[in-house]
C-alpha cells in the first residue's frame, strides 16, 4: 500500500449542536462515509485514517468496508472540547513516520469529491507550494465598521457590479488541507510556507455546523447521487393550481439601481407579467413572495393585478401553507420559482419547485426544473408556458 498521501479525518463523539452528527445518516449513509468515499476514490491516497474517541463511531467507520481505512484512537486530551484539530494531527504524525503528506479532511464537508482531492495533490506535487487548501468563490458584498460609519470592503456601491461581472472573493470551505508531515511537525500548523488554493464548486460553501445546515446539504447530496425512486417520475404539472415566485433575482436580474435622487430602481421583464396574466386567465392563482420589503414590488404587483403579494417574509414555507389553506390547495398543487438559499425550503416542499439558470447552486440542485432563462430575462414566462402547455393551454 502506497501511504505517501494519508487522508486524516478527525471525528469526535462530543458534537454540541447535533449529537453524534458524524455518523448520523445523511442522504442514505453515515455522514463520515461521504468524505471517506471521496478519499477512497482518490488513487493517490493510500491510507485513510479516521481519528476518534468513540467505539460507536469506530464501528460505523468499519462498516464502510475499505482496506484503505483504519482507525486512530485519539487520546482524551486531543478529544476534549478545548483541543485544536492541530493537536490530534500532531499526535498522529509524531507516532507514525510512514507517510510523506497529510490531507486533513473534515467530515462536515460531505460535498467533497475525489476530483477535488486529486486537484489538490496535483497542485502540491508541482513543488511550488508547501501547503494547499480548498476554497469556494463567494459573490457577496462585504462591509465593515470604521468607528460608527459603515464602509464597503470589496466593491463600490456607487457602481454596483452585476453578479456575472463580479469576481467575488475566496473563502475557506473547510473541506481539506494538504501539507507535508515535515512541515506539520516543524510549524505545528495545518498550513505553512507558500499556500496554494483549489477552488471547489460553489455549493460546497455549506458545512454542517448547525441543524439548519443539515437539510440544505442533504438536499444537495441527494441531487448528486440521484433521486429516490418516488422522485423519478416527472412532476405532474396538470395538478398545478398556483404559482408563486420570489422577486429579486427571478422577476429582476438581482441588481440594485439608484437614481440621482437616491431612489432605488428595479428592472422587471414585461414577458414575465404577460406569463402571469396567462396563468390567471387559466384559473391559476399567482403571486410574489419576497423577503425584501420594498414599495416598488408592491407597485409592480398591483399593476399586474396579482392575486397575492407578500413582502418582508422570513418564513416562506409557512406562508405557502397559509395560502394553501386560503385557496384549498395542497403543497403538490403549488409551483414556486426561487434563486437563493432562502427559497430552498419551498423549492423542496412544493409540487413543482423551480430555479432560474443563474440561481445559487444550492437552489438549482434542489429544483425540479431549472429555467433556460436567467432571472429578469423571462424565467417566469418560461415556467408559466410550461405549466400551461402541460394543462393544454
Return the active site residues.
Answer: 160
Residues 6 or more apart whose Cβ sits within 8 Å of residue 386: 237, 369
The alpha carbon of residue 124 and the mean position of all alpha carbons in its chain are separated, in whole angstroms, by 27
Q: Are 201 and 158 in contact (CB under 8 A)?
A: no
Task: Please tell me the distance from the alpha carbon of residue 389 to that of residue 275, in angstroms, as a whole number.
Answer: 12
> Distance of CA 370 to CAs 97, 333, 338, 378, Å?
50, 18, 10, 13
CA distance 353 to 344: 9
Q: Which helix (H) or strand (E) holds 225?
A: helix 211-225
Q: Element (H or E) spanning 128, and its range?
A: none
Secondary structure E strands in the chain: 5-11, 25-26, 29-30, 45-52, 69-73, 101-105, 131-138, 143-146, 149-152, 169-180, 195-200, 242-245, 257-258, 264-265, 285-289, 308-310, 334-338, 352-355, 369-370
**Distance (Å, rounded) from C-alpha 303 to C-alpha 297?**
10
Return d(Cα 116, Cα 138) in angstroms, integer: 18
CA 118, CA 198: separation in Å to the nearest integer? 10
| Beta carbons of 90 and 9 less than 8 angstroms apart | no
Sole residue written with cell 469529491: 113
List the beta strands (DSSP E) in 121-187: 131-138, 143-146, 149-152, 169-180
Report which secondary-structure segment, H or E, holds 273.
helix 270-281
Dist CA 274 CA 9 (whole Å): 54
Amino acid at each position: 500500500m502506497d501511504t505517501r498521501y494519508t487522508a486524516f479525518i478527525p471525528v469526535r463523539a462530543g458534537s454540541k449542536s447535533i449529537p453524534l452528527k458524524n455518523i448520523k445518516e445523511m442522504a442514505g449513509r453515515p455522514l463520515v462515509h461521504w468524505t471517506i468515499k471521496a478519499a477512497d476514490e482518490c488513487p493517490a491516497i493510500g491510507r485513510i485514517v479516521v481519528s476518534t474517541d468513540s467505539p460507536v463511531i469506530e464501528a460505523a467507520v468499519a462498516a464502510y468496508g475499505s482496506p484503505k481505512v483504519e482507525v486512530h484512537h485519539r487520546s482524551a486530551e486531543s478529544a476534549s472540547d478545548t483541543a485544536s484539530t492541530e493537536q490530534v494531527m500532531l499526535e498522529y504524525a509524531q507516532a507514525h513516520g510512514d507517510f510523506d503528506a497529510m490531507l486533513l479532511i473534515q467530515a462536515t464537508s460531505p460535498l467533497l469529491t475525489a476530483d477535488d482531492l486529486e486537484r489538490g495533490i496535483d497542485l502540491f506535487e508541482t513543488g511550488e507550494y508547501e501547503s494547499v487548501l480548498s476554497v469556494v468563490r463567494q459573490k457577496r458584498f462585504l462591509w465593515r465598521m470604521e468607528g460608527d460609519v459603515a464602509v464597503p470592503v470589496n466593491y463600490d456601491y456607487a457602481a454596483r457590479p452585476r453578479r456575472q461581472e463580479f469576481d467575488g472573493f475566496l473563502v475557506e470551505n473547510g473541506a481539506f488541507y494538504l501539507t507535508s508531515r515535515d512541515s506539520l511537525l516543524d510549524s505545528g500548523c495545518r498550513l505553512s510556507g507558500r499556500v496554494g488554493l483549489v477552488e471547489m464548486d460553489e455549493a460546497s460553501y455549506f458545512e454542517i455546523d448547525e441543524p439548519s445546515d443539515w437539510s440544505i446539504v442533504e438536499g444537495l447530496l441527494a441531487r448528486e447521487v440521484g433521486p429516490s425512486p418516488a422522485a423519478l417520475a416527472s412532476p405532474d404539472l396538470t395538478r398545478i393550481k398556483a404559482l408563486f415566485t420570489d422577486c429579486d433575482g427571478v422577476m429582476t436580474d438581482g441588481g440594485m439601481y439608484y437614481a440621482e435622487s437616491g431612489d432605488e430602481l428595479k428592472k422587471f421583464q414585461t414577458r414575465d407579467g404577460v406569463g402571469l396574466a396567462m396563468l390567471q386567465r387559466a384559473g391559476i392563482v399567482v403571486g410574489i413572495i419576497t423577503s425584501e420589503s420594498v414599495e416598488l414590488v408592491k407597485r409592480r404587483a398591483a399593476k399586474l393585478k396579482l392575486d397575492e403579494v407578500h413582502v418582508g417574509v422570513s418564513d416562506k414555507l409557512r406562508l405557502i401553507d397559509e395560502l394553501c389553506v386560503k385557496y384549498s390547495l395542497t403543497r403538490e398543487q403549488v409551483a414556486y420559482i426561487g434563486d437563493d438559499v432562502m427559497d430552498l425550503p419551498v423549492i423542496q416542499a412544493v409540487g413543482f419547485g423551480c430555479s432560474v439558470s443563474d440561481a445559487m447552486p444550492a437552489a438549482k440542485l434542489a429544483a425540479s426544473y431549472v429555467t433556460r432563462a436567467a432571472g429578469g430575462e423571462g424565467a417566469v414566462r418560461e415556467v408559466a408556458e410550461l405549466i400551461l402547455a402541460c394543462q393544454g393551454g
